[in-house]
Amino acid sequence: MGNSMWQTVAGHPYVGHDHFWQRALSRRQFLGATAAASAAVATSPMWFPALADASGRDPVPIPGGFFPGYHAFLGPGVEPSTIFNYRGTTGVAAVQGTGTGWNTKTEESEPLLFDSDNRFMRGQYIGVDGEEHEGTFGFI
Amino acid sequence: MAPDTHQIHDMSPGIAPSGLFWTVRIPDHWVSVEADDLGEGARYGISNLHLKDYRQLANSLPAFLPPGTKQTPPDASVASFDMRWMGNKGPTSATDSGPNQFTFAGIFTHATMAWSASVPSKHFKFRSDAAHTSHETFAALVNERNGSFFAGEEDQQTGQHG
């Protein structure tokens, strides 16, 4: 199942959560090309996301999706967020571009293409505990 | 993307046991946006976020793996990015008052992104070119309500003034 699968379904009309996705689920995808050179090292403290919040403040996923349990739609007219019982501001952006990948062991490098779909959601939501909370979330 | 390309990395936080899809809580200060003035744009930056590299999209979606195929365990990865939404390419809105119950209104925008990532176990690092060389295929900023917030509220602001 490669990119062609996502492209095949790209033109399917979207009518609610229970239907197949409207267009390609764009992900950050590196796509091989030819050679070039570059190098850099990032050094700063790591930040770990909390996938599960024991306090119950986690948001709940939106029911349904392009497959049961997979709710993520991209494009005009479809719901951009991924959390349910939510009221807030959402930013969605599918961005493509270029860059350089390299092997830190061999120092070999190559130019790469990327394809991303990142979003933020900020506002109020009802958590799994049934209480209203405020928070900021990233779809990555 | 060109038809002769192939995917070699696919990074996400994974799907939480609750079903929350590629979504994680992030610090508030990683996002800058004004709900009542979306035309001013937004900025979204993450710093050294621990993710998982599933290598290919299909491997990150277990339900789509062919029968008998097991998900290949992802590699630990770390990514940072700086995204910006800017401009106003026109209004966007939608309302689904059926069983899905969501409504949003906002604007289409431009967007750019610069980012970097590493997969230590694969000795792999990546750095994008400057943000201005990237381009959006779709970008929007919206104010949205769904689920229990869908009904019984005043019409939401479009956030288009300013």
ipTM comes to 0.91
The domain tally of chain B equals: 1
Q: What is the DSSP letter of B156?
A: P
**Residues of chain A found within 8 Å of residue B44, distances taken between Cβ atoms:** 91, 118, 120, 138
Residue B158 lies in a domain: no
**Residues of chain A found within 8 Å of residue B127, distances taken between Cβ atoms:** 38, 40, 99-100
Residue B80 lies in a domain: yes
CB contact under 8 A, A29 and B33: no
Q: Are A49 and B77 in contact (CB under 8 A)?
A: no
Q: Which pLDDT band, with edges at 50, 70 and 90, does B21 fall under?
A: confident
Q: What is the DSSP letter of B63?
A: G
Residue B37 lies in a domain: yes
A42 touches chain B (CB under 8 A): yes
Residue B54 lies in a domain: yes
Residue B140 lies in a domain: yes
Parts of chain A with a pLDDT under 50? 1-46, 52
What pLDDT is recorded for position A112? 86
Closest CA to B64 of A19, A68, A10: A68
Residue B12 lies in a domain: no
Mean residue pLDDT of chain B comes to 88
B64 touches chain A (CB under 8 A): yes
**Residues of chain A found within 8 Å of residue B1, distances taken between Cβ atoms:** 3, 29, 31, 96, 113, 115
**Residues of chain B found within 8 Å of residue A132, distances taken between Cβ atoms:** none
Residue B156 lies in a domain: no
Q: Write out pLDDT tens, residues B148-157.
A: 999 855 544 4
Domain residue limits at B107: 29-63+71-149
Q: Write out pLDDT tens, residues B56-108.
A: 887 888 877 888 888 899 999 999 999 999 999 999 999 998 877 899 999 99
Per-position b or e across B48-85, b if 16+ CB within 10 A of its CB = bbebbbbbbbbbbbeeeeeeeeeeeebbebbbbbbbbb
Q: Are A16 and A25 in contact (CB under 8 A)?
A: no
How many CB pairs below 8 Å do chains A and B form together?
327
Q: Give the pTM.
A: 0.82
pLDDT at B159 over 70: no
